[in-house]
Chain A
Amino acid sequence: MSITAVVILVFILYVFLTFVIGYYGWKKTKLTPEDYFLAGRTLGPLVLSLTLIATYASMWTFLGAVGTNYRFGTSFMSCMITYNVLWPLMIWIFGVRMWLLGSKFGYITPSDMFADYYQSEAMRVIVAIIGIIALIPYMSIQLLGGGLAFEAATGGVIPFWAGALIMVIVIALYTFFGGLRAVVWSDVLQGLFFLIVLLVLAIWAIKLTGGNPFRIIAEKHPEIFDPGRFKWNMWFAFIMTWAFSPLLPHMMQRSFMARSGKTIAQSAVSVAILSPWFQTVTVMLIGISALVLLPGLTGKATDAIIPSLLAKYAPYVGAVITSAAFAAGMSTLDSQLISASSLLTQDIWVKYIDKEADARRQTIIGKIFVLVVTVVMFFFVLTKPGFIVVLGTAGAGICIAAYIFPTIGVLFWPRVGTTAALWSLIVAGAVAFITFAIWKFPLGIYNTVWGMLAGLITFLILTWTTKPLPYEQQERFHGYLTSVIHGEKR
C-alpha cells in the first residue's frame, strides 16, 4: 500500500470518529443559542481542561512552535515556558470572574459582557468586529498547517490547497451540525490524541539522534543555546499575546461554559501542569532533535519539521501523525469558528438585522455563519499568508491588545468609564491592526506591543479625565464579584 493511501485511510478513520462525536453532539443539542454556542453551560473539569488545552494548542504548537524552537533554540523555549506557565494563571484570575458574571447575567459572547457593563451598544459592535477581524488570520494558520502537513506526508501527491480544502469541509460539517457540544467532545479526543503523540514523538526523536541531542548540538551548533537569540521585542510580544490568550473570544467563551467557578479553578490547575510539560518541553525536544536529524532547514520549511521528520524516518507512522496535526488544528479551528459565528449572529445579526428571531432561528443563522466564515477563511489561506507563528501571534495580538483594558474595567477597576473603555478598545485594536496589516511591525516590534501601548495610554488618560459609570452599575458588578471572591457581604 502506498504512503498516500495510508495517510488517506488513517485520516478517513479519524474523521469518521470525529463525525460519530459530531452526531452525538447534534442529537443532544437543543436549538437554542445557549446550547449551540455554550453547550448549555455544563462542562465539568475534565472536559473543560482538555477543551482548553486542545483549543489553545493548535497548528501553532504542533508545527509553528517546533520550527521556532529549531530556529531560535533555548531562548524561544524560555519564552514558551513563560507564557505556558502564565496563561493558566490568567484562566484563574480572569476566567473565574468571567464565569461569575456570565452565569449570573446569562452572557453568550464577550460582547454581551462588555455591552452590558458599559451600557454601550457601540461597544458590542466594535468588540464583535475586532473579534472577527482577529480570528480570521488566527484561524487561517490551522488550515495553513493542515495543508502543509498533508502535502509533506504524501510527498506532494495531495497538494496544499486540497489538504486545506479537506480540512475545511470536515470541520464545517461537524461544527455546523453538532455545535459546541460536538466541538468540546471532539476536543477531548483530539486533545488527548495530540498530547500523547507529542510525547511519543519527543521520545522517538531523541532516540533517533542516537544519544543526547543536546550534547551533539552543543558541540556543533552552540549558538542555538544563546539566550539572546530570540530577540527581546519578539519575546515580549509573544508573552503578552499568549499569556493573555484567555482573553481571546473563543477562550473567553470557555469561561462561560463551565458548570461552576470551581470547575474553572480546577481546570486552571490541570492546564498549568499539562501545558508547560506536554506542550512546551515535548515541542522543544522535537525541535532540538530535528537540528541533528534534519540539519540546514531554513524559512518556511521549518514549519513542516514533524511531517518532514516522519516522511524521512518513519513514513507509515507519518500517516498517524498527520492526523495528530489535523487534530491540533481542528480542535482550535472548530472553537474559533463557533466563536466567530456567535459574534456575527448574537452581536450583529440578531441585535440589528433580525430582531424578531426566536431561539431556533438564531441557532440556524449561527450555523449559516459557520459556513460563511469557513469559505472566507479558505480563500484567505490560499494566498499562503506567512509564517504560522507570526500569523497566529499577530492575529491573536489584535484581539488581546483591544480587549485587555475594557476587561480590566469590568472585572477589577470600577473607576473605568464607558469613554475610556470604548476608546482604548478602538485605539488598541486599530493600532494593532495597522502595525500588522499595513505598516508591518515598525522598528521590528510586534503589533501586540504597539496596540497595547497605544491602548494603555488612551485607557489611563481617559479613565482619569472622564466620568465613571453610574454607582449602581459599578455596584451591580463589582459588588457581586467582591461578595464571592473576597467572601464579603455586599
Chain B
Amino acid sequence: MSNEVYKIPNKPWWWPRSLKFRLVFIWIAIFFILMNLQNFRVIAKSVYPFVFGLPFPLFFVFLICVISTIAIVGIYFMWKDLVKRLG
C-alpha cells in the first residue's frame, strides 16, 4: 500500500485560494473573536449606554445578529455558481 495522498485544490486548507473563501474565513474569525470579546467582558463592561432602548451588551449582540444575517445571504449569492452546479 502506498502513502500517496489525493491532492485537492485550495491548499493550504487554512488559507483559502479564492477571494470568496477568504472573505468567509475572515468573517468567521471576526465573528468568533467579537463574540468572545463580549463574553470576556472586553466590549461590554456596563449596561450603559442604552442604544435603541437596549442595554449596551444586548445591543451589541443584536448588532452581530443583523450582520450575520446579511453575511449568510451574501455567502449564498457569492456562491451562485456552486449552487447552479448542485442543482
Contacts and interface: CB of A to CB of B under 8 A. Distances in A.
Interface in B24-66: 28, 31-32, 35, 38-41, 43-45, 47, 50, 53-55, 57-58, 60-62, 64-65
A269 B69 CA distance: 9
Contact of B39 (A96, A232, A273): A232
Contacts of B19: none
A299 interface: no
Nearest to A93: B24
Contact of B5 (A86, A88, A474, A488): A474
A266 B9 CA distance: 25
Nearest to B24: A89
Contacts of A215: 50, 53
A26 interface: no
A467 interface: yes
Contact of A265 (B6, B39, B44, B82): B82
Contacts of A27: none
Contacts of A222: 47
B8 A468 contact: no
A293 B64 CA distance: 28
Interface stretch (A70-78, A389-397, A421-429): A70-78
Given A225-B44, A228-B41, A276 B87 contact: no
Contacts of B58: 74, 77, 214, 225
Given A89-B28, A214-B54, A261-B87, A471 B6 contact: yes
Contacts of B73: 269, 272-273
B76 A478 contact: no
B72 A281 contact: no
A478 B6 contact: yes
A218 B40 contact: no
Contact of A75 (B5, B39, B53, B83): B39
B86 A272 contact: no
A227 B40 contact: yes
Contact of A227 (B31, B41, B69): B41
Given A77-B58, A235-B39, A482-B9, A260 B4 contact: no
A269 B76 contact: yes
Contacts of A88: 72
A277 B65 contact: yes
B9 A276 contact: no
A273 B79 CA distance: 17
A481 B8 CA distance: 9
A85 B31 contact: yes
Interface in A437-490: 467-468, 470-471, 474-475, 478-479, 481-482, 484-488
Given A218-B47, A486-B10, A74 B62 contact: no
B75 interface: yes
A266 B84 CA distance: 11
Contact of B72 (A81, A269, A485): A269
A361 to B, nearest CB: 35
B69 A78 contact: no
A223 to B, nearest CB: 10
A481 to B, nearest CB: 8
A262 interface: yes
A269 B70 CA distance: 10
Contacts of A467: 1, 3
A12 to B, nearest CB: 38
A415 interface: yes
A413 interface: yes
Contacts of A475: 6
B50 to A, nearest CB: 7
Nearest to A481: B8
Nearest to B18: A486
A260 B86 contact: yes
A230 to B, nearest CB: 7
Interface string A203-226: 000000000101100100010011
Contacts of A415: 5
Q: A-B pairs with the 8 shortest C-beta distances?
A: A261-B86, A262-B87, A272-B72, A474-B6, A414-B6, A85-B68, A218-B47, A262-B86
Given A74-B57, A81-B35, A478-B6, 11 more contacts: A78-B61, A79-B35, A214-B55, A222-B47, A225-B47, A227-B57, A232-B39, A276-B68, A276-B69, A468-B5, A471-B5
